[in-house]
Chains A and B, each alone.
Chain A
Amino acid sequence: MGDKVDGIQGLLGAAGGLAYANEISKRGQGYAKEMGSLAGQLQSDSAFKGYGVNTGLANSTIEADGTMNLGIGRDQGMADAGNAGFDAGMGAMGNAQNMLQANSSNPAYQQAMGMYGANASNSQMGNALAAQQGGMSGISNQQQGMLNASNQMMQQSMQGQAGREQDIYGRAMAMQQPMLDQQRAQMNAREFAQGRSGIRGSQFGGTGEDAAMARAQAQAQNSAAFQSMGMAQQEQMQQANMANMYGGMGQGAAGLQGSLGMNMGNLGLQNAQLGQGAAQGMGGLGLSQAQLGQSAAGSMGQIGANQAQMGMQQYQNSYLGMQNQLAAMQNAQSGANMAQTGQLTGTGYAAQLGLGGVQTAVNADKAAGELYGNVAAAMMNNANGKDGASSWLGDIFDF
């Protein structure tokens, strides 16, 4: 029975606790609502209200939403004058650019360049070079021919004599061949007439008469061979001498060729120098003229630049009124700030006081709630078993 009473106590304590909790919650919600209203009031009170500046130039205003109306614009006349000066400067600069461009096609310069070009294709120099080439070619050929002849003679003179001897011997025998053939034919005819034709003996190869003729011819051949040897030697000496002679001629031709080359080179050089001097003179003239052009263009450009600068200054001056108005507004801004600061300070005070009242109410509710909670909790502890064992309520509500 005791347990059941304890339990009922517990239930009654719990029910009272719950009801008080709901009350507290409702009170909290009321505080929040009050603070919302306070916040709304503070917001309205602390908002920017705008301000205005009146000068002799214009009436400028700052609206609550921050919009500024300066109340003055640029001076259109000055702006137009500045634009006109800028345009004039740009025109002068364009003229200067044209002058510079005109300078790049400077006729004197072009003439100088033409003279350079003409000098490069200088007909006199070309003639000189052609003459030089021709002379050198002719003399080179002559020299080559001489040297080849000399080389050939030298080689011939250095060759063994046997081949040349054979050649001379062959020519000598070739010259003698008709006579030998005639002799042989006569011999054959004689042998035929004597009935000796067609006979060949071991001692002679043919007949004895054939052998006699062969011996005679062999002697002639031997003589020719010895003569050929002598002639070959003489020829070798002649060839050596001719090699020397041709070599000398070749060297002379080489010297002549060198001299001619030098002369022609000098001539070409002189001609080239003349061309280069003329071209250089013309180039100087062109350069001077170009410098003049450039100087004029520079002056023209400078004039243009000054005019443009003047236009720009004029244009800037057209905004001078606005600047002065803005400066006045900047001066007015400190007053605005002071007004705003006072407004915000008052608002702060109001807020702090409102919040302090709420805070006090809350603290009171909190203390009441804690007290009431302790009462409910003690009542609910009766619902437990002895010695803190569980009870049926505890089994339902796990505390």
Chain B
Amino acid sequence: MATPLQTLLVRAPSFEGLNTEDSPLGQALTFALSADNAVIDRLGRLGSRLAFAKDTDSIPTTETVLTETVRTEKNITQMGGGDINGNYVILCVVVVEQYNKENEVIRQDYFVCRKDDDVLTPMDMPPGIPDRTEIGRADIVYFNDKLYLFSNGNPALIYDDTADELVSMSAETNWLPPQDDDGVIATEIDGDIALPAYGRLWVSGVGGDYNRIYYSDLLIANQWYDGKGTPTDTQNTGGIIDVSEFWPNGGDRIISLAAHNNFLIVFGRESILVYANAASGDPAAEGGIFLQDSMMNLGSVGRDAVVNTGSDVLFVDDSGIRSLSRTIQEKSVPIGDISRNVRGDIRRVIAESEQQRIELSYWPSESVIVCLFPDTAQAFVASANAPSSTGGLKMTKWNRCFFNKTHYYENQGTTAVYLGGNTEQNGLLSYDGYTEWNDQAFTFKYSSMPLDFGEPAKDKFMKSIDYTIFSLFEETNATARWGYDGNLTRKKAIGIDALIPAYYNEATFGDTTFGASGSTIRRYRVNTRGSGSMARIGLDVKILGNEVSVQEINVQTLLGRIN
């Protein structure tokens, strides 16, 4: 006797993103086993990310080209920006490498370029920079209407948007190096870990000392600690914090600095120090800054692997992306583990990556937190919206991330995300639109957890899969995939329709084609075959000028006998 078809309706499948940590069996269908180039869209669905779109057209650097050079690569390795007297300026560090026919680097040049619309204009730098290679990993921070470029062993450089040049901080008229009655402590602020916060610049690595933090005078970035009996500027409140006594594991070095909620958070490689009351008028005064907490076996893998989301400070640890505020609140395990759902995957990637290049960035307008691994051109992306049911944030994964740095731009209500690309991308990219910088499609890929339809002991014979897909702008091709026992061995191509939505007052009758907004959501049925104890389904969609989200999946299957 024929058995009735069983219907499994999954609404907003995998809207909780990836989960590779828990056993795939018995998991809710709200998690995905793969979600490539995906985000959790504004309606909580799993959808395609935006494109890495072209932004600048060229990088007109002026390096000397050697005769042996057969190939030149330009990479934007660092970015920073801010509003300088009403003009938002983005500075990029461009590393130019020339290769010979043996594919060996025979020359390196370093430029600091300013984004001028679609051109990166090189800025002049003061002569006599001791180690220009360190410019390649400089820390560019914005502070009090100026941009500061801090690099290891080099003078701090200042850009104030008055000329196409950077000047040395020590050349400023009000320059006051760290000093005391015994003399000048540091002739230059030559550290490469900088944090603008609470009206001061906080810098570590000065003189190669990564156990000290030099903080500037209030709103005067050129004045630093003055421990003389009578300070040169009696109003100076600059100072020094030596953290070497407080490492809970006996010793560490400062990797990164962060500010949050009146805290100064000092990240070591394997420990974290949390200084409270950092925003006091004079941190050294009574009632000023003090160490409130310290943590062992937690730390940042790199200077740029820390980001403040406004409500939280996230950082990349060896175990993944961690949440500091939760850590502080809980003060015990389990601590905030943002990447909990992909812990194993991200831990392996972190371990295999060049950790100094790992970047954690927060894009508020996209409500995502991007953990970028430039050397493998991939990123783990966490939704900054509500966390998943496991406690971790909803995670997806991006590939084809051919950029080294990101910069979130916000100026007078306008937001953008700039991505530091390379020669092939002619400089900067932007996270925007649906067309990649090279006009090549990328693939949004989804696959489900194994499905047992509540009868794990019985064979499943999937008869059809109905994909309800939200799409926009452009038709595209997709591939429906399914399989049994954990594999997606079967597939069928489907065409994804797209209708241009009509928005109020954006298009009028007769100007263009428009239809009802609901018409962009359509169900695509795919007849399937085969059997197995566990079923899996998936979907690959080419993204090129279009947008796709998976809204609903309906699987119809027969249940067989008990194996």
On A, residues with C-beta under 8 Å from B are 192, 194-209, 212
Given A203-B231, A209-B286: 16 more A-B contacts, CB < 8 Å: A195-B276, A196-B288, A197-B245, A197-B246, A199-B289, A200-B227, A200-B284, A201-B239, A202-B225, A202-B227, A202-B231, A202-B233, A202-B238, A202-B284, A204-B284, A208-B282
Task: Report yes or no: B284 in contact with A199, Cβ–Cβ below 8 A.
Answer: yes
What chain A residues lie within 8 Å of B244 (beta carbons)? 198
Residues of chain B within 8 A (CB-CB) of A204 are 284-285
Q: State whether A202 touches B236 (Cβ < 8 A).
A: yes
A198 and B246 within 8 A (CB): yes
In the complex, whether B180 has a CB less than 8 A from a CB of chain A is: yes
- Could you jot down 7 A-B contacts, CB within 8 Å? A197-B245, A198-B246, A199-B290, A201-B285, A202-B239, A203-B284, A208-B282
CB distance from A136 to the nearest CB of B (A): 61
The reply to whether B290 and A194 contact each other, CB–CB distance below 8 Å, is yes
- Assess whether B240 is in contact with A199, with CB atoms less than 8 Å apart: yes
* Closest chain A CB from B222 CB (angstroms): 13
* Identity of the chain A residue whose Cβ is nearest the Cβ of B181 in the assembled complex: A205
Find out whether the CB atom of A196 lies under 8 angstroms from the CB atom of B290: yes
In the complex, what's the smallest C-beta–C-beta distance from A203 to chain B, in angstroms?
6
Given A208-B284, A208-B288, A212-B286, decide whether A201 and B275 contact each other with a Cβ distance below 8 A.
no
- The residues of A that contact B292 with a CB separation of less than 8 Å are 195
B275 touches A195 (CB 8 A): yes
| Most interface-central of A195, A197, A204 (chain B CB within 10 A) | A195
Residue B82 interfacial (CB < 8 Å): no
Contact, CB under 8 Å: B240 / A200: yes
Q: Is the CB of B291 within 8 A of A195?
A: yes
Q: Tell whether B241 is near chain A: CB-to-CB under 8 Å.
A: yes
Q: Chain B: which residue is nearest A209 at the CB level?
A: B286
Determine if A201 and B225 form an interchain contact, defined as CB atoms under 8 angstroms apart.
yes
Say yes or no: B283 contacts A202, CB within 8 Å: no
Closest to A205 in B: B227
**In this complex, what residue of A is CB-closest to B287?**
A208
Contact A195 B231 (CB under 8 A): no
* Chain A CB within 10 Å, residue with most, of B226, B246, B284, B289: B284
**How many Å lie between the Cα of A307 and that of B237 in the bound state?**
140
- A200-B225, A201-B285 in contact; A195/B290 too (CB < 8 A)? yes
Closest CB of chain B to A218's CB: distance in Å? 12
In the bound complex, do residue B245 and residue A192 qualify as a contact, i.e. CB atoms below 8 Å apart? yes
Question: Within 8 Å CB of B241, what residues of A?
Answer: 198-200
Q: Which 5 A-B pairs have the closest CB atoms?
A: A201-B284, A195-B291, A198-B242, A208-B286, A195-B290
Residue B139 at the chain A interface, CB threshold 8 Å:
no
**Distance in Å: Cβ of A293 to nearest Cβ of chain B:** 105
B366 within 8 A of A: no
Give the distance in Å from the alpha carbon of A197 to the alpha carbon of B240 in the complex. 11
List B residues 281-336 near A (Cβ within 8 Å): 282-292
**Chain B residues whose CB sits within 8 angstroms of the CB of A201 once the complex forms:** 225, 237-239, 282-285, 288
Give the secondary structure class of A's interface.
Answer: loop
In the complex, A202→B180 CA distance in Å?
9
Interchain CB contact under 8 A, B245 and A198: yes
A16 vs chain B, min Cβ distance (A): 165
Q: Give every chain A residue within 8 A of B459 (Cβ-Cβ).
A: none
Q: How many A-B Cβ pairs are below 8 Å?
A: 82
Which residues of the partner chain A approach B238 to less than 8 Å between Cβ atoms?
201-202
Task: Tell me, rounded to whole Å, the shortest Cβ–Cβ distance linking A201 to chain B.
Answer: 2
On chain A, the residues within 8 Å of B246 by CB distance are 195, 197-198
Among A192, A199, A209, A212, the residue within 8 A (CB) of B239 is A199
Q: Are B245 and A206 in contact (CB under 8 A)?
A: no
Which residues of chain B are near A212, meaning CB under 8 Å?
286
CB-based nearest A residue for B243: A198
Task: Specify which chain B residues have a CB less than 8 angstroms from the CB of A198 in the assembled complex.
Answer: 241-246
Shortest CB-to-CB span from A140 to chain B, Å, is: 56
Residue on A nearest B240 in the bound complex, by CB: A200
Docked Cα-Cα span, A204 to B283, in Å, equals: 11
> In the bound complex, what is the Cα–Cα distance between A205 and B227 (angstroms)?
4
Q: Which of A192, A194, A199 is in CB contact (< 8 Å) with B283?
A: A199
Inter-chain CA distance A346–B286, complex, in Å, is: 178
User: Complex: how many Å from CA A201 to CA B233?
Assistant: 12
Question: Does B217 reach chain A (CB closer than 8 Å)?
Answer: yes
Choose among A192, A197, A201, A203 the residue with the greatest number of B CB atoms under 10 Å from its CB.
Answer: A201
Q: How far is the CA of A335 from the CA of B225 in the complex (A)?
A: 164
* Least Cβ–Cβ distance between A324 and chain B, in angstroms: 142
**Chain A residue nearest in CB terms to B180:** A205
Digitize B248-282: 1 where CB-to-A-CB distance is under 8 Å, 0 elsewhere.
Answer: 00000000000000000000000000011000001
Give bound CA distance, A199 to B285, whole Å. 9
Which single member of B229, B231, B239, B290 contacts A200 (CB below 8 Å)?
B239
Residues in A whose Cβ lies below 8 Å from that of B217 = 202
Complex Cα–Cα for A207 and B239 (A)? 9
> In the complex the two chains form, what is the Cα distance from A205 to B282 in whole Å?
12
* CB pair A203 B285 closer than 8 Å: yes
CB contact between A202 and one of B226, B276, B288 (< 8 Å): that residue: B226
In whole angstroms, how far apart are the Cα atoms of A197 and B286 in the complex? 12
Which residues of chain A are within 8 angstroms of B180 by Cβ–Cβ distance? 205
Residues of chain A contacted by B227 (CB below 8 angstroms): 200, 202, 205
Closest CB in chain B relative to A363 CB, distance in Å:
160
Q: How far is the CB of B202 from chain A (nearest CB, A)?
A: 13
A194: nearest residue on chain B (CB-CB)? B290
In chain B, residues 90-131, which have Cβ atoms closer than 8 Å to a Cβ of chain A?
Answer: none
Complex alpha-carbon distance, A192 and B291, angstroms: 9
The chain B residue sitting closest to A195, CB to CB, is B291
Q: Which residue of B lies closest to A191 (CB)?
A: B290
Nearest-CB residue, chain A, relative to B239: A201
Q: Compute how far the CA of A112 lies from the CA of B554 in the bound complex, rounded to whole angstroms.
A: 161
Closest A residue to B225 by CB, please name it. Answer: A202
Residues of chain A contacted by B285 (CB below 8 angstroms): 201, 203-204, 207-208
Complex CA distance for A242 and B219, rounded to whole angstroms: 66
Q: Which of B198-251 contact A (CB under 8 A)?
A: 217, 225-227, 229, 231, 233, 236-246
B245 and A203 contacting across the interface, CB-CB below 8 Å: no
CA distance A204 to B275 in the complex (A): 19
Within 349-367 of B, Cβ neighbours of A (below 8 Å) are at none
Chain B neighbourhood of A208, CB < 8 A: 282, 284-288
Q: Complex Cα distance A198/B244, Å?
A: 8
B residues less than 8 Å from A209 (CB atoms): 286
**Which residues of chain A are near B284, meaning CB under 8 Å?**
199-204, 206-208
* Residues of chain A contacted by B231 (CB below 8 angstroms): 202-203
**Assembled-state Cα–Cα distance A204/B282 (Å):** 10
User: CB-CB < 8 A to A202: which residues of B?
Assistant: 217, 225-227, 231, 233, 236-239, 284
